[in-house]
Structure 1
Amino acid sequence: MMETNDRADKLSAASVAIDGTRIRTVREAKRLTQLYVANVVGVTTDTISRWENNRYPSIKRENAQKLADALEVPLVDILREETTVPEDEAGADLPPPSPRLTKLLILFGLAALLLLLMVVILARTPSSAPKAVRWLPRYAAPGEVIPVQIKVARLPGDPFGFILKEKLPDGMRLVSSVPPNSAAEPAGSSLKWLVPGGGSPVTISYSMRTPAPFAQGKDVKVKGEIVLHGGDANRTEEVGGGSEVRIGPYHWADANGDGSIDDDEIMPAYYVCDEMKGLGLEWKIIEAIWSGKGYRWDPKTGYTVLK
């Protein structure tokens, strides 16, 4: 009974949904050409082809009936089982979205655009800035050369270069550096190095000198930063590690300022001198102090080794 009612509903609809596969199957089974069917229905062969390929989801019931007559089958045999289209809905356009839906679509579009911009920025900005750590001695004497090393760790394959800047304490001047200082005034107190991109660690070594007439017992401070260039964005990171040196009657290799260089201090001093060859460090004096019983420093005569 229900099936009979469904068929009646389909037949009473102004437009009906046809099943192209069924139409083709019936036509070929009866050995009818598309031209013959088109002439009977009063349409072109292209229209018949589109119907058979389900290009039209629904057609007028009148044309569907003519098609069924041409195929010599009941109309219901060429209709889709699940679909009928009422007259007032046939060919109707979808209603426009509601204002609320329109607002949500706009917000979604803006969020997607913002996400895309963030992805672009992150892609062009380094995920992690290089980490720079400074080493410098805790003590140094006026007029003597003071070694400084900055080691920079970078991520493997980092494509971004960086600028290292160092500001020496007032009165101090650069002696030499490896690599060479890029600043306009090589002997000035403002130092710069331009380092290209790459993932390998970088070591920048330089030596500075305190003026001979310098207040002893005073702590002086070195400041530095890394300026990282990544696409359109710049990032600045402060150089970590040691930053202060106490000026007094000490050798820089005397790490605890006790007037001697012991076994615990000689090896670090050796490595520093080896890595900073050509920067004005005097290894022979360090070795002599280590071999002796200590040292004294005098502003006029410098270091005297105690035997």
Structure 2
Amino acid sequence: MTEQHYPAGPAMVKIDGTKVRAIREQKGLTQLYVATVVEVTTDTVSRWENKRYPTIKKENGLRLAEALEVELSEILDAAAGVASTENDASESADQTHPSQDGNSAEGIFATDPWYHRPGHLSIFVVIAALVGGVWAALHYLSPEASISETTVTRVVSPHFIPGKPLPVFLKIANPSPEAVSIILKEEVPDDSTFTAAFPSSSGIIAGTVKWLTKVTGSELFYYTITTDPSFNGTLSFAGSVRGSNGSQPAEILGDVSTRTSLHHWADIDGDNRISDEEILRVYDLVANETPSALDLDLLEEMWLGEGYQWQPEQRQFSILP
């Protein structure tokens, strides 16, 4: 498969819309999700799948393949391969054999360029400055540009009890006053099972929890996982966040691992009691939400008591009065 380049335009590829739709549906992806990753509209994705626009920019083809989590070659039209934009034959002929009567654009510019005429150069400079200023304002002040400043920090306890739900918190900080569209992905650790997410995720595919949403200011996402009760070891975390401005995915910051123990996940220092600081830390995270998966009632009972102990045989906590 060869690729040709023409000065008239960017490289293009011819995709197979039937393959695109089949892969998307097989992986449970929505057209909205694909459109957001590729940075086009859902109507455009629909036209691609219905073969109304089979030839697209190679750049969009690569993004489409990324959204579908396949190689570009897997969605190309097998008979077409890679194509490239080419001007209309008559336009190409005009460019290759310019008019010799002096009326062509090249002839006019060569004999009397407008920017050589008195006063026109200063006008050109002013216009260029205005255009540059507008572009800079749109580029740096638009809500989409703020994704480069949007950060996601993972907060997870240093330890957990195998077989019991473990919450993984994702703190999103968006300094822009405007809403920013993001795709948040979090890989479910090996040896663990995804059980719930808040807010509801856009789906879990190949062991990755995904959210497609808009965020304003500071927000909290979380999900819970469990392991087999017999599991003994460490879980490792990884994830990324991506905005709609074409930037590369940014790594999620914060905690990256947790290990098995006999202590409640909220008991950060592992002293078998829930201190004021520890319960306040949890409430600061969940704010006004009351996620049922976290069992905050049990946590409050532990805090009110003198301590707690984990009973492995009964697989439950006993609270010291």
Following superposition of structure 1 onto structure 2, how do residues 64-143 of structure 1 map, counting pairs within 5 Å? 122=139, 126=145, 128-143=148-163
Query: What secondary structure sits across from 2:278 in the alignment?
Result: helix
- Structure 1 residue 151: Cα displacement: 1.7
Quick check: 1:222 aligned with 2:237? yes
**Contact 1:157–1:199 (Cα < 8 Å) also in 2:** yes
Name the count of aligned residue pairs. 195
Following superposition of structure 1 onto structure 2, how do residues 7-26 of structure 1 map, counting pairs within 5 Å? none
Query: What secondary structure sits across from 1:180 in the alignment?
Result: coil
In structure 1, the residue matched to 2:167 is 147
**Contact 1:141–1:251 (Cα < 8 Å) also in 2:** yes
Amino acid at match of 2:255: G
- Structure 1 residue 169: Cα displacement: 1.3
**Contact 2:290–2:296 (Cα < 8 Å) also in 1:** no
Amino acid at match of 1:148: V
- Structure 1 residue 165: Cα displacement: 0.5
In structure 2, the residue matched to 1:304 is 318
Quick check: 1:290 aligned with 2:296? no
**Contact 1:177–1:279 (Cα < 8 Å) also in 2:** no
In structure 1, the gaps of 5 or more residues are 1-95, 97-111
- Structure 1 residue 272: Cα displacement: 4.4
- Structure 1 residue 256: Cα displacement: 0.5
Query: What secondary structure sits across from 1:268 in the alignment?
Result: helix
Aligned counterparts of 1:163 and 1:254: Cα–Cα separation in 2:
32
Structure with max Cα Rg: 1
Quick check: 1:192 aligned with 2:222? no
In structure 2, the gaps of 5 or more residues are 1-110, 112-127
In structure 2, the residue matched to 1:259 is 272
- Structure 1 residue 238: Cα displacement: 0.9
Amino acid at match of 1:213: S
Aligned CA distance change for structure 1 residues 288 and 276 (closer, same or farther; 3 Å): same
Aligned counterparts of 1:275 and 1:211: Cα–Cα separation in 2:
31
Q: Indicate the RMSD between aligned Cα atoms, in angstroms.
A: 3.5
**Contact 1:297–1:304 (Cα < 8 Å) also in 2:** yes
Aligned CA distance change for structure 1 residues 288 and 201 (closer, same or farther; 3 Å): closer
**Contact 1:205–1:276 (Cα < 8 Å) also in 2:** no
CA deviation profile, 1:194-219 (whole Å, cap 9, x unmatched): 013x643332122222221211xx33
CA deviation profile, 1:65-96 (whole Å, cap 9, x unmatched): xxxxxxxxxxxxxxxxxxxxxxxxxxxxxxx9
Aligned counterparts of 1:133 and 1:204: Cα–Cα separation in 2:
10
